[in-house]
Amino acid sequence: MYELHDIVEMKKAHPCGANRWEIIRMGADIKIKCTNCGHIVMLPRRQFDHKLKKVLEKHNQE
């Protein structure tokens, strides 16, 4: 579904106007970083799953 370093879109946009987030940590909590302003937010996995709209870009694992 989603992996580390994927770019995702959430249901609500960030106050800076962007709606692209990079997943930078995964575990019981998921940490995401706004690709526009660099703000970091940590959410419990359950809350993240609820607020996730779609995965925009998959990270290339090479």
**Chain segment 16-40, per-residue pLDDT in tens:** 999 999 999 999 999 999 999 999 9
CA atoms within a 13 Å half-sphere pointing along the CA-CB vector of 2: 25
**Which spans in 1-62 are helix H?**
45-51
Question: Is the overall model pTM greater than 0.85, yes or no?
Answer: yes
**Chain segment 47-59, per-residue pLDDT in tens:** 999 999 999 999 8
Buried b (16+ CB within 10 A) or exposed e, 2-20: beeebbbebeeebeeeebb
Q: What is the DSSP letter of 21?
A: E
Q: Which of 23, 56, 20, 13 is nearest to 36 (CA)?
A: 20
